[in-house]
Structure 1
Amino acid sequence: MLTAVPIDLDFADSPREETRYFTFSISRATVSDGSRGVLGVIVETTEQVTAARRIRVLSEERRRALLRYRSLVRAGSEMVWVTGPEGGVTEPSPGWQRVTGQSWEELRDDGWIDAVHPDDRASVIERWSRTLREVQPRFTHTYRLRLATGGYRHFAVDAAPVRDGDTVIEWIGTCRDVEQEWQEARRERLLARATAVTADTARPDEMLAALTAVIVPELADNCTSYLLPQALHRTPGTALTAERVAAVPRQHPPPPPPHLPEHLGPDSALVRADVLRRPVHA
């Protein structure tokens, strides 16, 4: 038996020679009168052979594309992660584990959420759930991750579904540290807002009140602005009289009234900042 033998044939309706494939099978046969003969069966298999070759080519192309993609991701991203179609992490992510300090047991399924900043978790979960539910073509988000060394940094997430036909078989995503970019973007945004709110303001107390409103809650939970009318003539070691011109808390209780003099002792953070002429953390 010969299988998938290529044969070059000339066809009357074809302008050129064409290669087709056939399978030949020869066996002994006995007819009804008892005489013996040979039975030959020839079956054209061109379509099957062509389809099999096409599948092999596509498989190799996909394999190379995957290798290229993995190489590109490893070169340009700190973390790569894979989830199932419903969203739970299904494979270890050495990059994620290195950055966050989470073990594989802590990371798997939905354990990664524990590494997200508490203030960012609700928005991340809501957007990720909607992306999975609607099978959106791409998921992008920026949130803060807890670092293995302590503290948090902003990371940009970019993920996409992996499909087999119309079926999503998994999701693959990357996380990239964008803390520096985020800080620069926030700085530019705050400067633009500060410029806008003070553009038509001439009085210092009104300008400080406007700037205080810009700082909360972007930079702080509370902010109070003071004028120090006697700072240049104050004797060192004496109390500092400060006039509060604005106070903005992020939440209740309501702010105290403005233009209220306060007498601050030498242990006050504001007094120390005035004496040292630099920021003071208290």
Structure 2
Amino acid sequence: MSPARALDPKLFDATIAAVALLAGPEHRLIYTNEAFTRLFGSRTLGLPAPEAFPDPDAGRFLSVLADVRATGRARQVTGAREIDLGAADQAARFVYSCSPVTTREGTGILVVAMDTTPESRALQRYEALVSAISQMVWVMNDDGSMEEVVPGWQHLTGAPWLGRADKGWYAFIHPRDREKLGGAWRAATGPEGPRVFQSTFRVRAADGSYRHMSTRCVPVLDEGRVTEWIAATADVEDTWGHT
């Protein structure tokens, strides 16, 4: 078997997702893209992770890094948290994944974060009404499978998430929206190359009614190949223009 090819971080210079690359047993920070700097602020390259991320709430992130290095398995952290953007009334929400990779400096960890702030701000007007189901964020593998439950899905539909986007998921989509939703996904994953998937559709709730949901899904690429999809889904029923 040939050795794994080292990941070239320049691939992520212009990506929408925030990306950082750490290498070695100390998880030294060797790369961040512009999206990462915008979301988390400027970080000093070359420092071990505890020094590069001295934030008071960075303990969970450092723990995830240690777990990924110890197990060799990717971790997907779906619980979004808030970070201060320097204004009392502003905050950013994000979800991130950590994946083991081979770098030019040896084994490393690729961190990919998705800013879900736009969806969060849109929800603030009615968060008190639908706080339990207003937003779901998750990470899917390249084949559509997931290792973690999508938060909020069972509360919304009354049924557990089955671990894949294609196992029973369409049964909860309004029949009139299925073709449009499927077409948008095929366009995002078609032969012209992966692109951002975005669609608004109706999902059947546990009480039998339908609620409008808006989903935006971003592909994470490695040498032009999709390694995973990071998505945010918001309940927009209370802001949807009824006719």
Query: What's the TM-score, normalizing by structure 1?
Result: 0.40
Indicate the structure with greater helix content: 1
- The structure with more radius of gyration: 1
Bigger RCO (CA 8 Å, 6+ sep)? 2
Query: What's the TM-score, normalizing by structure 2?
Result: 0.45
